Amino acid sequence: MKSIITLLSAFILSVNLYGQGLEISNDTVPITGDANSTLTGATVLTNKNSQPLTINWVENFLTTPPSGWTFSVCDPINCFPPTTTSGSFQLGANDTGSMHLDITPDSVTGQSVVQLALSYATNQTANIIFNVDVTMTGIHLTALKNKIIVTPNPAQNFVNLLMPQNYPAKEIIVFDLLGRPVKNVNVSSPAVNFRMNVRDLKQGMYFIQVHTASGAVFTHSLNIN
């Protein structure tokens, strides 16, 4: 019985009641997930009034999202394309409806904070904050590693690194077969195509470790003639 009361208390504390009878189940919504999936965060709005309530919303980015991400807002009536960043809807008397934010990261990891600014009644406002954290799971990262192209391989003077789209190389470390770093290259302007001089490497087998601007790390073998 005590645990039930505790759960009920936690639920009640999570509900936020704003002016003029607008209730928001959660005004801070975490969104986490894999960069290869469409992610969604939602909250429930309740009109505690005996009259309908017209609510206006505007989408704002409190932090700049990574390039390539797209965002779509759904209010209780409609779902909008990414190009729509504002709208309005009517919530009936004593009625509830959900608002949610859909994110398509397009295989790009990163973080962002998105605000849905609500206005309603006379000079009444409320905010819904979505804290977005997108990562890459091991399965998808392994699949991307297989897409790295190292050419020519074997190499003598230069080697070209072709990275997956949206994963520009930032730093390249070359290891010998004993795991010792023998070469380190910092890429001043991260790029998905990079040419590296390997004339200073002795003949033999090496491993290239590529650190990307997004924080992902890829490894590929390299043979020097």
166 within some domain: yes
Question: How confident is the model at residue 102, as a pLDDT?
Answer: 92
pLDDT at 35: 80
- Do 49 and 158 fall within a single domain? no
pLDDT at 129: 94
On whether residue 2 sits in a domain, the answer given is no
Instruction: Decide which of 135, 168, 186 is a domain's last residue.
Output: 135
Dist. CA 7–CA 2, nearest whole Å: 9
pLDDT of residue 199: 92
Domain end residue (candidates: 100, 135, 170):
135
pLDDT at 9: 36
Domain boundary among the residues 135, 156, 176 is at 135
Do 82 and 118 lie in one domain? The reply is yes
In a domain, 190, yes or no: yes
In the structure encoding, which two tokens stand for residue 155, read together?
């190499």
For the chain, how are helix, strand and coil distributed in percent, rounded to 5?
Answer: 10, 55, 35
Residue 3 resides in a domain: no
> What is the full per-residue pLDDT of the chain (225 aa) written as tens digits?
333 333 333 333 345 655 568 999 989 999 988 787 788 898 999 999 889 999 999 999 999 998 889 999 999 999 899 999 999 999 999 999 999 999 988 878 888 999 999 999 888 999 999 999 887 665 455 555 556 788 898 998 999 988 877 778 889 889 887 778 899 998 888 888 889 999 999 988 888 888 887 777 777 888 898
**In what side-by-side order are the strands of the sheet with 149-151?**
149-151, 158-162, 193-197
d(CA 205, CA 72): 48
What's the CA gap between 211 and 216, in Å, rounded?
Answer: 6
Residues 183 and 214 in one domain: yes
Q: Classify residue 8: in a domain, yes or no.
A: no
Q: Are 89 and 80 in contact (CB under 8 A)?
A: no
Q: What's the confidence (pLDDT) of residue 12?
A: 36
Q: Report in angstroms the alpha-carbon separations of 51 from 24, 48, 57, 91, 224.
A: 17, 9, 19, 9, 77
* pLDDT for 4: 36
Q: Tell me, what CATH number does 90's domain have?
A: 2.60.40.10
Based on the structure, what is the number of domains in the chain?
A: 2
Same domain (yes/no): 131, 153:
no
89 and 29 in a common domain: yes
Q: Does some domain include residue 150?
A: yes
Considering the domain architecture, whether residues 125 and 24 belong to the same structural domain is answered as yes
Tell me, yes or no, whether 169 and 106 share the same domain.
no
Instruction: Read off the CATH number of the domain in which 146 is found.
Output: 2.60.40.1930
Q: Which two tokens stand for residue 190?
A: 């991260």
The HSE-up count of residue 143 (CA atoms within 13 Å, CB side) is 7
Q: Residue 178: which domain range?
A: 138-224
Q: Are residues 193 and 114 in the same domain?
A: no
